[in-house]
Structure 1
Amino acid sequence: MSTLVIIPPTPVPAVTPVPPFPPLSDRVLGLYNIKAYAFGNHMGTLFMPELLALCGSAYSNAQAANVAATIATAMAAASASAVGADKWVMGTNYPADVTAWSPIDKQTYRRNAPGGISNVDPSIDSGGSTSGWTRVSGGDSLPQFLLSTQGIV
């Protein structure tokens, strides 16, 4: 069994709390400038880099989700195409992209181009660049997944 490992989600980086912006009433107490400086300094030195790190985390997770969705779509298409496959019969003319299941190993195979009369069981006539069939179900043909609390592995 082959295993496809998907990288777990990128953790969301920590964000330093933003100091409160001073109210105008702090002018009377002589605290306005000190608090405004702390706020402005935070925004310029900490807030922007942390915001960019947050954006990077979200972007990385979106890319990983896109890859996972692409893989899931391909696997669903392969599974759907194998549904309803007929039992392989020697001497039958199988056009390209038709599916049939092997009576030897009970796996589903897709006929490679250009198709034609098939006299060799797909389980024997598969796997090479010149083979007549490609396995689409079971064994190593599709990646196997394990769903855990850390994501798909």
Structure 2
Amino acid sequence: MSATPPTSLTSMPDSPDRADRLTFSARCTALFDFLKNTGIGEWRAMMANVYANALDALASAVSASSSANAAQASANAAQALVNAAKWVPGAYTAGQAVWSPVDLLTYRARVDLAASSVDPSSDRPNWAPAQDSGLPAQRITANTSAQVGLHYVFAAGGITLTFPASPAVGDRIGITNASGTATCLVDPNGKKFKGNSTVMKLDDLAASAVLRYANSTDGWIKQ
């Protein structure tokens, strides 16, 4: 938060008193001179300062809310992994976490599965290792502006994920195509994917990766 304290206000001159005729005229003149030359300017500056501080406080509140939402998403994702059940043949919903009795690792369903019959460790088109990214997953079904530190699971076709306009070196974002289509897009938002500034199309139905921002030349690269 970058709020700045307001400057102090100059004390006003004595107010004119109609009962004191000897000083009334001089005090009126002094008061109006003060208002014209000093008071009004200082009050306007103070109100501008209060307004700027209010805007800063609002921005801080929005940022705090975004951080809280990201923290909650991370906590929810961690809780889902902790509560993951052992995989058995059956139906699963996209994003559901299970652990494999073959390698004891945790996996998430890429898509809704009416009848999963192959252990997740051997079924990469339908299951993604939860340990791939270490980032909390967020399913999206509409155009979305990405936040750093999340793993976005495309759960519908024809949608675009727009990456941040001003990433920092080392920022990470995960993407997984669970839409069952080759129509989803990832927009670098003025940056690059492996040196290419064009919008990336997820034409691999089993695409899953974590992208890390390397530099302005290469942009986002696969981790």
TM-score higher than 0.5: yes
Structure 1's 135 and 67: CA in aligned 2 closer, same or farther, altered over 3 A?
farther
Counterpart position of 1:150: none
Q: In the aligned structure 1, how far is the partner of 2:77 from the partner of 2:49?
A: 42
- Which whole-Å deviations, capped at 9, do the CAs of 1:2-44 have from their partners, x for residues lacking one? xxxxxxxx4213422223344538x958554454442222112
- Which whole-Å deviations, capped at 9, do the CAs of 1:73-120 have from their partners, x for residues lacking one? 22222222223212335xx12422542123436234246213422314
TM-score calculated relative to the size of structure 2: 0.45
Task: Work out whether 1:140 is the aligned partner of 2:137.
Answer: no
Q: In the aligned structure 1, how far is the partner of 2:81 from the partner of 2:31?
A: 71
Counterpart position of 1:40: 40
CA contact (8 A) 2:92 2:109 kept: no
CA contact (8 A) 2:93 2:111 kept: yes
Structure number with higher helix proportion: 1
Instruction: Write out aligned runs for 1:115-130 (5 A).
Output: 115-122=114-121, 125-126=123-124
Instruction: Write out aligned runs for 1:1-153 (5 A).
Output: 10-24=1-15, 32-37=31-36, 38-44=38-44, 46-89=45-88, 92-97=89-94, 98-102=96-100, 103-104=102-103, 106-110=105-109, 112-122=111-121, 125-126=123-124, 131-136=125-130, 138-142=131-135, 143=149
Structure 1's 87 and 40: CA in aligned 2 closer, same or farther, altered over 3 A?
same
Structure 1's 23 and 115: CA in aligned 2 closer, same or farther, altered over 3 A?
farther
Structure 1's 43 and 107: CA in aligned 2 closer, same or farther, altered over 3 A?
same
Aligned residues: 127
Q: What secondary structure is seen at the aligned counterpart in 1 of 2:120? A: coil
Q: In the aligned structure 2, how far is the partner of 1:112 from the partner of 1:121?
A: 12
Pairwise CA RMSD of aligned residues? 3.4
Q: In the aligned structure 1, how far is the partner of 2:107 from the partner of 2:43?
A: 60
What is the CA-CA distance between 1:139 and the residue it aligns to?
4.3
Structure number with higher strand proportion: 2
What is the CA-CA distance between 1:57 and the residue it aligns to?
0.6
Q: In the aligned structure 1, how far is the partner of 2:129 from the partner of 2:61?
A: 31
Q: Which runs of 5+ in 2 are unaligned?
A: 136-148, 151-170, 172-223
Q: Which has the higher contact order (CA 8 A, sep 6+)?
A: 1
Q: In the aligned structure 1, how far is the partner of 2:91 from the partner of 2:53?
A: 53
TM-score calculated relative to the size of structure 1: 0.61
